[in-house]
Structure 1
Amino acid sequence: MKRPAYYSEIDPYLCQWLRNLIERGLIPPGDVDDRDIRSVQPADLRGYGQCHFFAGVGGFAYACRLAGWPDDEEIWTGGFPCQPFSVAGRQRAQADDRHLWPELHRLIASARPAVFLGENVSGLIPLGLDGVLADLEAEGYASRAIVVPACAVNAPHRRDRVWIVGRRLADAADAQRRSQSTGGNVGVRPDANRAETNCRSAELGEAGVADRDGERSGEARRFCGRATQWPAGSGEGVVEHPARQRRREGWAGPAVRQWGGVALAGAGGLGDADDPGSQGRVEHWQRTGQWDAWSTSRTLAGRRVPESGIRLLADGISARIPKLRAAGNAIVPQVAAEILRALRG
C-alpha cells in the first residue's frame, strides 16, 4: 500500500483547492492539514511519504508528478513565506512574525527526511539564506541553493526564485558512490573557485561530509541535468544577487530563451479575453514553449518589457482576489520538476 502524502496549508480556500486536486488525481493522494505549522508535531508526520508544507495550490506535489517522483518516495518540500524577504514588503526578515523557516527547520530536525526542496524569493539571499543552509548542514544535510527564474522553462515572465536543496548525507554519499561506480556524472566535485555571493553551498567531499564554506561556481551548469547556456556576461555562481542582474545591460532574447533549454510539456497560461490575439499566443506557447511577445520586445535594465496588448489585470473572474493571491504565492512547477529530475539522477 502506498503511503499517502501530507499537505500543510492554513488558508481554507487553498485547502479546498488541494482537496479538489487530490480528488481529480492531479496530485498524490493524501491528507490536508489546515493547522498552523506551529501546531504540527513530528509525530503527526509519521507514515507519510511526501510532505508538502505551505502547500498552496499543490505546486510542489504537481512538480513531483511531472518529474516522475513516486508518490510514496520520501521527500519534503516547503515554499516557506516570502513576505519577510520580498521587495514588495518591508524586508524585516527574522524580525517579521511571518518568518516560519524556524518551524519548518524544527520538523526537519526531528523527522530527518531523505530529501528537502525549498523555495523563496531572491530577497532571501542577502537576508537569510546563510541561516537556512547552516541549519540544514547542522542537521547533517548536504545543501545548496540556486536561482532559477520562470523564464528558464520558457514561461513568459522572469520570476527569479532561489531553490534550496538538502539531501541527508548518508543518502547523498550512497548516491555519489553509485555514480562513481557507474561512471556517471551525478556526484559533485571540488572546485577552488568561489562564487561572488555571500551565501554558502554544501557539497559532498571525498569523505562524504558537507563542506559548509564551499562555493562551486561550475556546478550550476550541471545541476539541471543539461549543459545550461547562461546569458553572456553572467557569473557562473550557484547564486547571484539579483541586483547584479539589474545593473547589467539587457540580455538578448535568444540568450534568455536558451537558459533553460526546451520548455516542459503542459506549461499553461492565462489570456486576456478582450485581446483578440492573446489566446492564440497562449496556445502557441503551450504548443511550442515559445512566447511570441519575447521576439519583438525590448529589455530595460535587464528586465523584459512585453509588447503592447498584453494586459496585466483581468475582470469578471469569480473569486479573483484569492486566485490572484494563490497564484502570486505559487511556484512554477516546471522549474521544480527540473530540479527533482536532477535529484533522482
Structure 2
Amino acid sequence: MSRPAYYNEIDPYLCQWLRNLMASGLIPAGDVDDRDIRSVCAEDLRGYGQCHFFAGIGGFAYACRLAGWPDDETIWTGGFPCQPFSVAGRQRAQADDRHLWPELCRLIASARPALFVGENVAGLIALGLDGVLADLEAEGYASRAIVVPACAVNAPHRRERVWIVGRRLADCSSERRQQVARGVSGHEVEDAGRAATDDYELASGGKIGLADRDGERSGEARRLCGRATQWPTGGREGSLEHAARERRREGRSESAVRQWVDPTADGTGGLGDADDAGSQRRVERWQRTGEWDAWATGQTLAGRRVPESGIRLLADGISARIPKLRAAGNAIVPQVAAEILRALRG
C-alpha cells in the first residue's frame, strides 16, 4: 500500500503549516521532510503517491484535491525557486545559488514518476525554460509549458506564471506514446489554459512562446497556450527589462506616475489605501460576484490592468505577519493548477 503524500519544504514555519493543513483534512495526509532538496535521494521517495517539492503552504496538494486527483495516485509537483528568474531580483538564472531545478531534475531522472507539474515566474521563459524542457525530454518525458495568470480564474491580481507539464513516455501505451511524441498530449493542457485565459491578453500585447536555441523542438511543442512567438528581448515595450523598469517606475516623474491611476477616483480599484471602506466594498463585491472594478472600468497602469491588492500590507498586530506574507507571496494559486490537473486527468 502506497503512502499518500510526501512534502519537501525547508522552512520550519511552513512545515508546521503543512502539518496543520493535513490535520484539518485540507491536503492529503503524509510526511513532511524538512531537509534541503540536495540531501534527498530517490530511495527516500519510494512508495509515495503524491510528491510535492518546495511545498510551501501546500498549494499543489490542495489543487489536487480541487481537481479530484486521488491522494495515492502518482504525481510530482514543484514550484522550484523563482528568485533566479524574477524581475524583482537580479535575474542571475543559473549563476544564482538558489537555482535548484537541477536538483529536482536529478530526482525526476532517478525515480522517473509518471507525471510532473512545475511552476515558475514568467521570467523563466527567457532565462531557462528551454533548458527545463530539454532536461525533461532528455529523461524520456514529453514536455509542455503554458502561461496562465491568476486573474484567468478571477483572482483579483495578475500573478502571471509558467506551468510546466512532463509526462513519461514509457508509462503510455504504444499508440498513446506515438501521440504524445507528436505533441498531441499537450492539447488537453492547452485547452485548460485556453479555457482559463480566453478573455485574457498578456501585457506584451502579443503572443509568446518558448526559446529554442538549437531549433530542435517542433513548433507544436514550443507553443504556450497557442502563442508561438518569443518574449521580446532588450528594453522595448513588453520585454522583461521593460517590465522590471515599469515596476520600479524608473525614468518617470511623479506627475506622470499619478496620471496612470487616480487612486481617489471612485470605483477604479486603484492603488489607494487597502484598508479604506472602498477597498472593503470592492473585496466584498469580488467575493460575491467574481467581478473586480479595475477590470470593469479598464483602468490600467502603463498598459497593464491594476487590480487592487486585498492583502493589508501595512496591517499591524497580526501574529507572524511577515512569515505569513512571505508564504502567501511564494505560494501558487491552487485554482489555476487545478484547471491543468483536471485536463491531465481527462
TM range (shorter): 0.7 to 0.9
1:5–1:48 contact (8 Å) kept in structure 2: yes
Are 1:77 and 1:117, in contact at CA under 8 Å, matched by a contact in 2? yes
Q: Distance in 1 between matches of 2:88 and 2:122?
A: 12
TM-score, normalised to structure 2, is 0.75
The runs of 5 or more residues in structure 2 that have no matched partner are: 210-222, 225-229, 243-272
State the match for 2:135 in structure 1: 135
1:30-41 equivalence runs, <5 A: 30-41=30-41
CA RMSD of aligned residues (A): 3.0
Structure 1 counterpart of 2:89: 89
Whether the aligned pair in 2 keeps the contact of 1:122 and 1:241 (CA below 8 Å) is no
Structure 1 position 278, deviation (Å): 3.3
- Read off the aligned partner of 1:336 and give its amino acid letter: A
Partner of 2:181 in structure 1?
Answer: 209
Q: How far apart, in 2, do the equivalents of 1:81 and 1:19 lie? A: 22
Distance 2:310 2:97 in 1: 40
Partner residue of 1:292?
Answer: 293
Contact 2:122/2:162 (8 A) holds in 1: yes
Give, in whole Å, the separation in 1 of the partners of 2:191 and 2:16: 38
Partner of 1:246: 238
The structural deviation recorded for 1:291 is 1.9
Any idea what the Cα deviations from partners look like across 1:192-235, whole Å, max 9, x if unmatched? xxxxxxxxxxxx655x5366xx9x9x887524474852557643
Q: Per-residue displacement from partner, 1:291-322 (whole Å, max 9, x unpaired)?
A: 23432351133312347999654333221111
- 3-state SS in 2 of match to 1:166: strand
Query: What pairs up with 1:241-280 in 2 under 5 angstroms?
Result: 241=231, 246=238, 274-280=275-281
Q: In structure 2, what is the equivalent of residue 320 of structure 1?
A: 321
Q: CA deviation at 1:288?
A: 2.5
CA, structure 1 residues 292+336, in 2 after alignment: closer, same or farther (shift >3 Å)?
same
2:120 match: secondary structure: strand
Aligned match of 1:64: 64
1:94 corresponds to which letter in structure 2? Q
Partner of 2:104: 104
Equivalent position of 2:253 in the other structure: none
Alpha-carbon distance in 1 for matches of 2:143, 2:308: 40
User: Is 2:37 the partner of 1:7?
Assistant: no
Give the partner amino acid of 1:325. R
Tell me the number of residue pairs that the alignment of Structure 1 and Structure 2 aligns: 290
Q: CA deviation at 1:126?
A: 0.8
The reply to whether residue 229 of structure 1 matches residue 198 of structure 2 is: yes
Take 1:91 and 1:142, find their aligned partners in 2: how far apart are those partners? Answer: 28
Amino acid at match of 1:147: V
1:41, 1:107 within 8 Å by CA — same for their partners in 2?
yes
The alignment status of 1:164 with 2:164, answered yes or no, reads: yes
CA distance in 2, matches of 1:300, 1:274: 21
Secondary structure at 2:238 match in 1: helix
Could you tell me how far apart the structure 1 residues matched to 2:309 and 2:38 are? 46
Structure 1 stretches of 4+ with a deviation exceeding 6 A read: 242-245, 307-311
| CA distances 1:150-197 after superposition (whole Å, capped 9, x unpaired) | 1110111111110000011133556x74xxxxxxxxxxxxxxxxxxxx
Which whole-Å CA distance do the structure 2 matches of 1:61 and 1:309 have between them? 24
- For the residue of structure 2 that corresponds to 1:338, the secondary structure is helix
Amino acid at match of 1:289: G
3-state SS, counterpart of residue 147 of structure 1:
strand
TM-score (norm 1): 0.75
Q: Quick check: 2:150–2:333 contact (8 Å CA) kept in 1? A: yes
Are the equivalent residues in 2 in contact too, given 1:246–1:303 (CA < 8 A)? Answer: no
Aligned counterpart, 1:336: 337
> Counterpart amino acid of 1:281?
R
Matching residue's letter, 1:36: D
Aligned amino acid, residue 198 of structure 2: Q
Task: Classify 1:223/1:242 alpha carbon distance in 2 versus 1 (closer, same or farther; 3 Å).
Answer: farther
Question: Offset at 1:290?
Answer: 1.8
Contact 1:4/1:29 (8 A) holds in 2: yes
2:255 matched residue in structure 1: none
What percentage of residue pairs aligned between the two structures are identical?
79
Tell me by how many angstroms 1:82 deviates.
0.5
Give the structure 2 partner of residue 192 of structure 1. none
Give unmatched runs, 5+ long, in structure 1: 178-203, 249-271
Q: After superposition, what is the alpha-carbon deviation per residue over 1:122-156, rounded to whole angstroms, capped at 9, x for unaligned?
A: 11111111110001001110001111111110111
Q: What amino acid is aligned across from residue 32 of structure 1 in structure 2?
A: V
